Structure 1
Amino acid sequence: MKRENEAANWTAICGVEDIVPNTGVCALLNNEQVAVFRLHDGTDTRVFAIGNYDPNSEASVLSRGLVGSLGERLVVASPIYKHHFDLQTGECLEAPENSVPTWPARIEAGKVWVGA
């Protein structure tokens, strides 16, 4: 059963306007780096949260990657080896064994919230 007050499970990361459209930022959530992305297609704004650590390059860089799509999948390309990570599932398309965690993310009251 869902609790009425879900706010206890969510953390405000920043204002939605603090993230340039179609880019990411890094945030610390429960001592773990999370890459938070804001995608805007002209009419709709969505946010996604995945692990910031790229296991292929062994560096915390995913928040600095280029956002785009491969077919129907929304992805970020790591800035080091250009591996693509699905923003909804965290799957690394080139090396699925090196996928990253994801967190639920939403926009509410002008802020970006990530589920803890």
Structure 2
Amino acid sequence: MTITASATRVELLSPAGWSPVCDWDLLVPGRGVAVLLPDGRQAAVFRDGSDRIYAVDNRDPFTGAYVLSRGLIGSTADGRVYVASPLLKQRFDLLTGECLDDEDVRIAVHTARSA
């Protein structure tokens, strides 16, 4: 999703509807922030250099730690945008949640928008 500079907040879709989770200005390109969802789960929200936002679960499935928001985003040679876990460095596709280093593992992806 491409966000315009006039956007003021980022919202994630949950079963209860759209919930504001952070201000647009808090998202530094290439870095993430951890947010708390209405149901108590954590998500990691990222903004890339083209002002697209992504949201995935914050829990690293390999360690159980809630750290994916501290990972750095990058892209593969074929253009897949991923976050690399800061602990064991596994890479997760930010559009699909697929682990690029272990095809049997994936994380949940959340729908995000600006408001």
TM more than 0.5: yes
Unpaired segments ≥5 residues, structure 2: 1-12
CA contact (8 A) 1:46 1:106 kept: no
TM-score, length basis structure 1: 0.79
Does residue 35 of the first structure (1) align with residue 41 of the second (2)? no
Report which of the two has the higher share of helix: 1
If you compute each CA radius of gyration, which structure gives the higher value, 1 or 2?
Answer: 1
- Alpha-carbon displacement from aligned partner over 1:2-25 (angstroms, at most 9, x marks no partner): xxxx9x611111111111121100
Question: Identity of paired residues, percent?
Answer: 44
Aligned positions of 1:29-68 closer than 5 A = 29=37, 30-41=39-50, 45-68=51-74
TM-score relative to the length of structure 2 = 0.80
Q: Structure 1 or 2: larger strand share?
A: 1
Pairwise CA RMSD of aligned residues?
1.5
Q: Match for residue 105 of structure 1?
A: 112
Gaps in structure 1 of 5+ consecutive residues: 1-5, 109-116
Q: Specify the code of the residue in structure 2 equivalent to 1:92.
A: C
